[in-house]
Chain A
Amino acid sequence: MAMLKRIIDSDLFWSFRQSPVAMISAFVALLLMLSAVFAPLIAPHNPFDPASLNLMNGFSKPMEPNQFTQDVFLFGTDDQGRDVFSTILHGMRISLFVGFAAVLFAMVIGVVAGLVAGYVGGRTDAFIMRIADIQLTFPSILVAMLIFGIAKGFTPVDMRDQVAIWVLIISIGLSDWVQFARVVRGAALVEKKKEYVEAAALVGRKPTAIIFLHILPNVLSPVLVIATISLALAIIAEATLSFLGIGAPPTEPSLGTLIRIGQGYLFSGEWWILFFPAVTLLLLALSVNLLGDWLRDALNPKLDD
């Protein structure tokens, strides 16, 4: 309870209550995330269970009884009679899983690299930041595509579909660590000169302890902001890669894969197969993005850009 009271009394929560945009985005993002987590319970059908599919239900229009079976589907069905609503819920699970895991991966690499570069300095710093600079020369989506292609080359052909999700996480994560590293390095450089760090060094704490126990907690607020904005970017990056056919495998379709499939029906009039996954992706990316914007203004850390 004390914890809850601390949260409610905090400046951050106050600023949250002041911003209708933040509250609406938080509500939408939370709703989408919860429905993704509980997809197996909420989804009326299991799109991956062939036994539950009825081909007669194919191309049912949204909210209209199917002409053969009279079944009604909220968002309609695709060519094989899969309920679009259920595929979206399951697809969102994969999109969000990849997004969160990729950001976590990027965050761990970026924060460690940034802390080490900032605290140790010298050649280590120059080396890490030079790699970051080289990577920044290229757009991160291009870097992710390249890493995906290389990683695919390393995996045996029969394993590729099974590990595709993990490869996707690593590619997006590796393409995105630079933002974390740059900001954390900048913050670590500032913290390093403060007295508490000198004091910790004076009493003989090891550099690793100083970096991770003393400096790290003090650089976390910019990290939180970048993580939120990165999550929106990672969700879009995943959707883009899957849309291009170099992401999630057909056996585990993410929102991007669903949009890719839906694009094929654009000309034949089955608009709902494309429309609903696209709107879901948009809501997801937009709400997380707006939340990140609010968080940046609320915490107001000194970001590089």
Chain B
Amino acid sequence: MISYILKRAMQSVVVLFAVGLVAFGMFRFVGDPIDNLLGQERTEADVERLRELLGLNDPFVVQYWNFLSGAFQGDMGVSYRQGRPALEIILERLPATLELAMVSAALAMVMGILLGIYTAINRKGFITTTILTTSLIGVSLPTFLIGILLIYVFAVEFGILPSFGRGEVVDLGWWKTGLLTWSGIKALILPAITLGLYQMTLIMRLVRSEMSEILKQDYIRFARARGLTEKTINFRHAVKNTLIPVITVAGLQIGSIIAFSIITETVFQWPGVGLLFIDSVQFVDIPVMASYLMMISVMFVGINFIVDMLYLAIDPRLRDGKED
């Protein structure tokens, strides 16, 4: 078991090193850093002095090491566009994205599980068919079209919800939150639905198929034979066993929610890191792109590791040392 944990931890470290290499490669080889820092009027001596100062004459491995140790201390270079440290800009924008992602994830979990249970218990019928058909369309629609559709219905036609921005935010000192004002909450509704819809369908389908499987098991038949009510069977016995795999899968989805927030943030002009990332791609702002990549990799790898550990805690077969 310990060897399993160590193996997974090693894999995570390898992934992070690989991503670090990509980020470093971006700094080093995409565009000339000297060109980015020095203007047109420069002498050979200036260039040489700066190369030495930036360590560009060092061997590749030394440069990579310096880059990684800098990154660990939060030094990811200065944004070419804004002239401020890239990490500072990202951290400033992070609360907006995290709030959006968390609300979407919660929405996807709650709605997905509820609808999944409902459609598993009532396998046929008008409501179930409607839910399943709608979810099929929801999966086929690209995220940005769902966003536009919601804007059209709720912002243009009915005019009840804002179509862009974050509304009023309250500054808590280290975290600017939109969850404490009415306008902030209203601004959050449409982006959260857009972002959470895909994950919601995914969770719903998973819950539905898991629960349908479980309802066919012997212990459910025995429970029925004992004369327990349908309600007790469904919620005491079936749901409990359904939720274990669901929680781990849903955990993995948090990573994709953060990545897909790029699209949602652009549609709704939500001032988070995703919008920042798109801007940085458009203007080839390498330090911001690289910092975003590093930040999101740490999150992804961290989430994957935690989910692996959760599996370990839940699935006894893994604990006995039978890996993969």
Contacts and interface: CB of A to CB of B under 8 A. Distances in A.
Contacts of A244: 144, 262-263, 266, 278
B98 interface: no
Contacts, number: 93
A266 B256 contact: no
B3 interface: no
Contacts of A243: 144, 263, 266
Nearest to A142: B259
A246 B274 CA distance: 13
Contacts of B286: 153
A28 to B, nearest CB: 13
Main secondary structure of the interface of A (DSSP, over half): helix
Interface in B268-321: 277-278, 280-282, 284, 286, 289, 293, 296-297, 300-301, 304
Contacts of B296: 138, 142
A141 interface: yes
Contact of B145 (A139, A142, A278): A278
Contacts of A150: 26, 30, 289
A297 to B, nearest CB: 16
Nearest to B18: A134
Contacts of A263: 148, 267
B166 to A, nearest CB: 19
Contacts of B282: 245-246
Interface residues of A, number: 33
Main secondary structure of the interface of B (DSSP, over half): helix
A184 interface: no
B9 to A, nearest CB: 15
Contacts of B255: 139
Interface stretch (B103-111, B114-122, B135-143, B235-243): B135-143
B300 A266 contact: no
B266 A259 contact: no
A246 B142 contact: no
Contacts of B260: 139, 141
A90 B145 CA distance: 20
A154 interface: yes
Interface of B: 14-15, 18-19, 26, 30-31, 140-145, 148, 151-152, 156, 163, 255-256, 259-260, 262-263, 266-267, 277-278, 280-282, 284, 286, 289, 293, 296-297, 300-301, 304
25 contacts: A130-B14, A134-B18, A137-B304, A138-B297, A139-B255, A139-B256, A139-B260, A141-B262, A145-B262, A145-B278, A146-B293, A149-B289, A150-B26, A152-B281, A153-B286, A239-B142, A240-B263, A243-B144, A243-B263, A243-B266, A244-B266, A266-B152, A267-B163, A281-B145, A282-B145
Given A149-B280, A236-B142, A240-B263, 8 more contacts: A134-B19, A138-B297, A139-B255, A145-B278, A244-B144, A259-B145, A285-B140, A286-B140
